[in-house]
A and B are shown apart, each in its own frame.
Chain A
Amino acid sequence: MTLNRRLFLGTSIAAAGGLAVPMVRAQGKPRVVVVGGGAGGATAARYIAKDSKGAIDVTLIEPSRTYYTCFFSNLYIGGLRDLQSIAHSYGTLASKFGINVVHDWVISVDRDAKTVSLASGGSLPYDRLILSPGIDFIEDSVPGWSVESQNAMPHAYKGGSQTELLKAQIEAMPQGGTFAMIAPPNPYRCPPGPYERVSMIAHKLKAENPTAKILILDPKEAFSKQALFVEGWQTHYPGMIERIGPDFGGGNVSVNPEEMTVDIDGDVQKVDVCNVIPAQKAGQIAEAAGLTDGNWAPVNPTDLSSSMDENIHVLGDAAAQGAMPKSGFAANSQAKVCANAVGGALTGSTVFPARFSNTCWSLIDTDDGVKVGASYEAGESEIVAIDSFISQTNETAEVREETYEESVGWYQAITEDMFGKA
């Protein structure tokens, strides 16, 4: 059981603060260090800074000056958004919220000394550490592929240059060529992501290269929103997309990046573009800090604190938290619960009960959006779902268009929630 679990006393909200034991510090403000300026980290940093009104010293460490969201990166590949529209900077977090933004890479965590070391050589002390490092890839999960071959066979599963590369490769495909995607096994970042990507690539190819083929090699029996995607593919892209599941060898695939070939259960095929999305694990720093069990970092559902270290919280894709999918929406939702708990621990501010939600939209074709979502709460040992919904097959074009427009509203809102409104 968690030591730092705080009880919430019914509707008399003010009472809850009584259980919190504020950090007593000899000097200076309590310090929070956040590693990773993505959906989880940027949100956590902003909420802690905003809610503590300067009482907590917040440092955000992120190597990139520009964060390219993975969300809507498929729309960029499909030609429905430009790159600039999915790029975000950290300027407002620094100027408006007083966050100390450090562009550096954390190489290790000393949990006893409560410090993190930076690639540039320095080290920073923390009272609470928040890790939201996203994902890394499991080596050899697709035989023949390694991170060194990512220029020949991009994953495009971290934002930015990889996404640009994949788009450029698709544009350079010969007429009638073949695009292959190697889909990842569960669990992975953004369950509908690969299939939305296929949809957006089909959208692009339909206009630019209509005789091209798309081949999905999938180790999973079933995938997120499958009925909706399959229906949409039949309607919009008949005959273009073929998916080979595990029953037909989709789970026994290796690649040769030099030859640009894919070996599907012994059948070697030449392809023009190959998008390899390997099996995934928590961003490497979580493992380096000794916070992982298997591939992910287990956390307590009430405040996302690590099961291994109560002064460290792990958010977003890297966390093993229970029922929430690995999505930007989920990371943002977890970050707000974590921020509230960290504020309570360090300044004695009121801690409210954890509540989470998620919605993932996917675009199948222009104005044909679908969504799936759920609400969650903290269960005994992990986050559990309370309620959920999903788009239906056969919805009217009007409903689908509104669903897409909602996703545009969401993108605007969540990126402002992460980075602040300039």
Chain B
Amino acid sequence: MPSRPIYLTLLTGTLLAGPVGAQGGDGQALYRECIACHQIGPDSENSVGPHLNDLIGRLAAGVEGYPYSKAMSAAGAAGMVWTKDTLDAFLTNPMDMLPHTSMGYRGMPDPQDRATLIAFLATGPDDATAEATFNVAPEILALQGDLAYGEYLSGDCTACHARGTDDGIPSISGLSRDAFVTLMQAYKQGAVTHPVMTMMAGRLSNEEIAALAAYFESVD
């Protein structure tokens, strides 16, 4: 059974149809896997993850003001620089290369896809496509969710999301609140589409998403 994170592969199919730049096309589509957490291009800011402008040649944990994990800061302190090779290793499976990184992303197993994505990261997005960033309003990220309500609502999720396995459907237990809210808002607002999750997120209010985020962060 391939343990490919489905979250993202489907996007390739769905989103290639969108207005993508002539040569950045595939890379831009693959970047959808990062869009919920990273901004890239003009006016980018740190969000769930640090912005990814001028990434090649940048020192790991090199964006000022971003609260990196100890693991990432240590790699930077040891002099690790983002090159095509280090990115390739990191994106294959972040947790393998840097145990305890706070990047909650399962990795991109296909070497060809990684190469295409890294080429895209090196040049940045096409100006024609403003949609390379997805941003959740700070007041939505700041909402405090009700844990008990979140636990009840999670009943709508546990028929599909098993704990501790990404086989077929990604595990969502233990996701950080910010990452969780951003991913759910990305589905809700249509920045990322998937038939099931578009429907599931579409019916949830911002408060309900916050409640779910509080609950799922609390389980492992």
Residues of A at the B interface (CB closer than 8 Å) are 11, 13, 47, 329, 332-333, 336-337, 340, 350, 352, 355-357, 359, 371, 373-375, 386-389, 391, 396, 398-399, 402, 405-410, 412-414, 416-417, 421
Contacts and interface: CB of A to CB of B under 8 A. Distances in A.
B199 A375 contact: yes
Nearest to A376: B203
A245 B203 CA distance: 38
What 7 A-B pairs have minimum CB-CB distances, sorted nearest first?
A409-B168, A409-B169, A336-B155, A413-B162, A389-B195, A405-B168, A408-B168
B195 A405 contact: no
A181 to B, nearest CB: 28
A399 B10 contact: yes
Nearest to B195: A389
B200 interface: yes
A413 B159 contact: yes
A398 B113 CA distance: 15
A409 B162 contact: yes
Nearest to A408: B168
Contact of B156 (A333, A398, A409): A333
A406 B9 contact: no
Contacts of A336: 155-156
A406 B165 contact: no
B195 A371 contact: yes
Interface stretch (B57-65, B114-122, B133-141, B144-152): B144-152
B10 A413 contact: no
Nearest to B207: A11
Contacts of B155: 47, 333, 336-337, 340
A332 B155 CA distance: 9
B6 interface: yes
Contact of A409 (B10, B146, B167, B205): B167
Contact of B1 (A47, A391, A408): A408
Given A13-B148, A408-B1, A359 B196 contact: yes
5 contacts: A340-B155, A352-B152, A356-B156, A405-B6, A410-B169
Given A333-B159, A405-B168, A413-B161, A398 B13 contact: yes
Interface string B149-189: 10011011011111101011100000000000000000000
Interface residues of B, number: 34
Contacts of B168: 405-410, 412
B108 to A, nearest CB: 15
A375 to B, nearest CB: 5
Interface-centre pick from A333, A371, A388, A402 (highest chain B CB count, 10 A): A402
B210 to A, nearest CB: 10
Contacts of A352: 149, 152-153
A151 to B, nearest CB: 34
B203 A375 contact: yes
Contacts of A405: 1-2, 4, 6, 167-168
B203 A387 contact: yes
Given A333-B159, A355-B156, A406 B203 contact: no
A340 B196 CA distance: 24
A387 B199 contact: yes
B13 A396 contact: yes
A410 B196 CA distance: 12
B152 A410 contact: no
Interface string B72-88: 00000000000000000
B167 to A, nearest CB: 6
